[in-house]
A = this chain, B = another copy of it.
Amino acid sequence: MSDSTVVDYHPMWEELGLDLPTHDALLGAVGQMFADAYLTQNNRPEGMSYLNFVMSEVHGLRVKELHDFRATGGKVIGTFCLYVPEEIVRAAGGWCVGLCAGAEFGYDEVEKIMPRNTCALIKSFMGFKLSRVCPYIQESDLVVGETTCDGKKKAYEALGELHNVYVLELPQMKRPEDVAFYRGELGELRGKIEQLTGKIITAESLKAAIKEVNDKRRALQRIAATRAASPAPISGKDALLATQVAFYDDVPRYTQMMNLLADELEERVAGGVGVAPASARRILITGTPMALPNWKLHDIIEKSGGIVVGEEMCTGSRYYDKLVPEDGETVEDMFDAIAAKYMDINCACFTPNQGRIDDILRMAKEVNADGIIDYALNFCTPYQMEAFTVEQAAQDIGMPLLKIDTDYSAEDIGQLSTRVEAFLEMI
């Protein structure tokens, strides 16, 4: 966090109502986690220096940008989920940010208002809010939640007592009537966002926003494609970080930097340069999203000698593998296209959800995986339940699979390392 000490952001954090001593402690801990997990890696791509910089300024420069944006009347919308289309927010002149989670924080306070056996993602975001250590939620004029799982659905009720929250209803199936229902929800979201920003979405602004967000996805697709090479040109940990930062960063700048990283990775592939020996076991991870700074499983796998070559998760392929068609001419057409694209994301909240199984098997083949690790946060019912279907599908094609249920704590790292090492040896 050395850069944060060059510019003193404490006055800004104080203005945001953060609990400064606790927040300092948090930044110190995340900085140490980042150093241990990331800066110890060998032969990292040059392009990662941008993401190192972003991490060093994770609650600094980017928050300052949001702060300045809001000072000129800009509106920031905080989200936790892919089903809140960034295109709509941007077309109305707003900015989207992901909210803090990914680390155990403030659980004592959280357990006074929700069950102990709530998944780590939910406990974490509530803990960050209750402990006043998340500048992103403080900079959010509105949090847009969704009904993707029982836990988040009810947690937004609690968050609504503390912050301005709007909940978008996601249907639970993928039939035409469900897509139509979600399309209706997007229409209501449009009204809500336009009212907030005071700007009307036009065909031009929406077309531009679709292009811009697609460009971000295309950059991530380029990075993802290089990971199919052997040796892999980038660690899974670094690729995960790239996706995690996509939720926070300025869109055009981020896209530009990720395209530079992709250029470098493509050169590496052409030159046979990698970050791990070609003999390293190649792992596809699937399951619950990994919010920044949750790098635990990737770190364990890669410190055990494996290499993560893909993530079928919301902080992975689900984020970037599908584009919104860019040929819409009217706002209504483009909203239809957005609704169709987002309803084509295969979250475990849907029933049935064969599309996700198909995605996992396809990706395993595309990235030449030697094995799959199915990752779920404890008490994440949709992914924990679906893990059994994933396991069966992997077994049917003879692909080794390891199921891991965990949380954000460091307590089980030893035990998980043992299991992962055994899995890597076995495959």
A interface, CB within 8 angstroms of B: 113-115, 117-118, 147, 149-151, 153-158, 167, 169, 171-173, 177-178, 181, 184, 348-349, 351-353, 378-379, 381-382, 384-389, 405
Further contacts, 6 of them, CB under 8 A, given A115-B381, A115-B384, A157-B389: A117-B378, A117-B384, A147-B351, A149-B381, A150-B349, A158-B385
A388–B159 alpha-carbon span in the complex (Å)? 13
Query: Are B173 and A171 in contact (CB-based, < 8 A)?
Result: no
Q: A117-B378, A384-B115 are in contact. Are A153 and B167 (CB under 8 A)?
A: no
Say whether A177 contacts B184, CB under 8 Å: yes
In the complex, the answer to whether A118 meets B169 with C-beta atoms within 8 Å is: no
Sort A-B residue pairs by CB-CB distance and give the 7 closest, nearest first: A154-B385, A150-B381, A115-B384, A147-B172, A150-B150, A153-B351, A150-B382
Q: Does the CB pair B157–A114 fall under 8 Å?
A: no
Copies of this chain held together in the complex: 2
Residue of B nearest to A392 (CB): B113
A349 cross-chain contacts in B, Cβ below 8 A: 150
Q: Is the CB of B153 within 8 A of A172?
A: yes
Closest to A185 in B: B177
| Inter-chain contacts of A114 with B (CB < 8 A) | 385, 388
Chain B's closest residue to A386 (CB) is B154
Of the candidates B118, B171, B348, the one whose C-beta lies within 8 Å of that of A385 is B118
Is B382 a contact of A154 with CB atoms below 8 Å?
yes
How many Å lie between the Cα of A154 and that of B352 in the bound state?
A: 8
